[in-house]
Amino acid sequence: MTDDPRRLAISALVRIDTEGAFANVVLPRMLEESDLDSRDRGFVTELVYGSTRRRRALDHVVERYLVQEPPPTAKAALRLGAYQLIELGTPAHAAVSATVSAAPKRFRGLVNAILRKVATASAAGIEYPSDAVALSYPDWIVDRLRRDLGDEAADNAMRTMNKPALVHRRDDGYVQDQSSQLVAEAVPIREGALVLDLCAAPGGKATALAARGARVVAADIRRSRVGLISDNRATLGLDDLHPVVADGRFPPFRRESFDAVLVDAPCSGLGALRRRADARWRIQPGDVDNLVELQVALLAEVSGLVKPGGFLVYSVCTLTAEETSGVVRTVSDRDELQSFELVPHSQPAWDVSDGVSLLLPDDDHDGMGLASWQRG
């Protein structure tokens, strides 16, 4: 394994770009196998995640100087160099020479020639052909978030999600985004309440609920991910947290047995894109429709498990109208929820409309949608 951070970054980018590897899976593994110290690991992480988020904008700049599509390793080196020049403001001589020497020998001439041009262009100021290219998102995400949130809020959200997430630790040491902490706090429970977290892995919200004194059943469809809940349960010493493998569409629990049910549903993740550098390039518009179907099915199915007077809470780390207000409207109209009433949230940071509270991403928060019903 290499001890050159840029060489490692180029290998990681090739795997993410051409082999479909998940950035947040492949990179930690490669870093683990390397001899790099923690400072260099942080640098590689910034380079790989940053170049991946900014892929569309960087490619636009680089492609102007290419006559044909370069091989994957050369392309990765060019993105990496352009990222340092344009986004990190690394001095041209350092960015170019260090990136050239990290590239395989046969591509060094090409990488050197193109990066010099990129350095000149960057110094002069780069113009992008569209906002979507400048922001470095697929057109459909830009269009959809602008339609659903308004241009200004959407653009601010997208700019925020181009920066790395800050690390927030709870009092018990568990690392959890502040929006997720707010969601767990929004589940109305008393000490000893019986709570079902239907989509619980890796257990962030379930452990927060158990730490508040609830008895928590933490279900998830994926066995391997339920193992993560068990690990977190052990680390945090939470005895009254019970991991279960279950498909929430067919919940194996008694009707009217829970004081509260949390459905932290699978979603398009468009409010938390900074956490998964490559996610914006993977998710497709059609995925949103499939997710909406699943979200509605989970909520309708599990509503029968809530005791009279108990609560059903829905959260997603996305901002699309379909997955937030759309799902809430559809579910509220279903027969299963006729004895439920939407209860608005009064937390100040959230923007409430159409029965859904939205938290837009900022430096300290992922974007999140939240809604709760109480059973009559």
Ligand X SMILES: C[S@@+](CC[C@H](N)C(=O)[O-])C[C@H]1O[C@@H](n2cnc3c(N)ncnc32)[C@H](O)[C@@H]1O
Shortest Cβ distance from residue 347 to ligand X (Å)?
18
- Give CA angle at 368 (364, 369), nearest 5°: 155
Told to check if 200 binds ligand X by CB under 6 A, we report yes
Shortest Cβ distance from residue 306 to ligand X (Å)?
17
Smaller CB distance to ligand X: residue 204 or 243?
A: 204
Told to check if 220 binds ligand X by CB under 6 A, we report yes
Told to check if 70 binds ligand X by CB under 6 A, we report no
Percentages of the chain per state (helix, strand, coil), in multiples of 5: 50, 15, 35
Told to check if 264 binds ligand X by CB under 6 A, we report yes
Told to check if 25 binds ligand X by CB under 6 A, we report no
Shortest Cβ distance from residue 194 to ligand X (Å)?
17
Smaller CB distance to ligand X: residue 205 or 280?
A: 205
By the 10 Å C-beta count (0-12 exposed, 13-18 middle, 19+ buried), 319 is classed as buried
Q: Taking contact as CB under 6 A, which single stretch among the options 35-43, 193-201, 335-343, 346-354 is the one that binds ligand X? A: 193-201
Cα–Cα dist 190/254, whole Å: 20
Told to check if 199 binds ligand X by CB under 6 A, we report yes
Shortest Cβ distance from residue 262 to ligand X (Å)?
7
Single out the residue of 9, 141, 201, 302 in contact with ligand X (rule: CB under 6 A).
Answer: 201
Told to check if 221 binds ligand X by CB under 6 A, we report yes
The separation between CA 87 and the C-alpha centre of its own chain, rounded to angstroms, equals: 21
Shortest Cβ distance from residue 128 to ligand X (Å)?
33
Are 100 and 111 within 8 A, CB to CB? yes
Q: Taking contact as CB under 6 A, which single stretch among the options 16-24, 166-174, 187-195, 202-210 is the one that binds ligand X? A: 202-210
Q: Taking contact as CB under 6 A, which single stretch among the options 23-31, 39-47, 201-209, 360-368 is the one that binds ligand X? A: 201-209
Single out the residue of 4, 247, 322, 354 in contact with ligand X (rule: CB under 6 A).
Answer: 247
Helix, strand or coil for residue 341? strand
Q: Taking contact as CB under 6 A, which single stretch among the options 75-83, 218-226, 300-308, 336-344 is the one that binds ligand X? A: 218-226
Helix, strand or coil for residue 260? strand
Site string for ligand X, 309-328 (x = CB under 6 A): --------------------
Single out the residue of 5, 70, 81, 203 in contact with ligand X (rule: CB under 6 A).
Answer: 203
Shortest Cβ distance from residue 271 to ligand X (Å)?
11
Told to check if 249 binds ligand X by CB under 6 A, we report yes
Cα–Cα dist 248/297, whole Å: 9
Cα–Cα dist 309/100, whole Å: 65
Cα–Cα dist 151/158, whole Å: 10
Cα–Cα dist 138/53, whole Å: 11
Of 268, 273, 271, the C-alpha closest to 290 is 268
Number of neighbouring beta carbons within 10 Å of residue 335:
7
Told to check if 295 binds ligand X by CB under 6 A, we report no
Q: Confirm whether 317 is a catalytic residue.
A: yes
Cα–Cα dist 352/334, whole Å: 22
Active-site residue identified among 165, 229, 317, 368? 317
Cα–Cα dist 94/358, whole Å: 43
Told to check if 168 binds ligand X by CB under 6 A, we report no
Q: Taking contact as CB under 6 A, which single stretch among the options 125-133, 154-162, 216-224, 319-327 is the one that binds ligand X? A: 216-224
Pair type for strands 368-375 and 340-342: antiparallel
Told to check if 205 binds ligand X by CB under 6 A, we report yes
Torsion angle of the four alpha carbons 37, 9, 86, 82, in this order, in degrees rounded to the nearest 10: 150
**Residues with catalytic roles:** 317
Contact set with ligand X (CB under 6 A) = 180, 198-205, 219-222, 225, 247-249, 264, 266
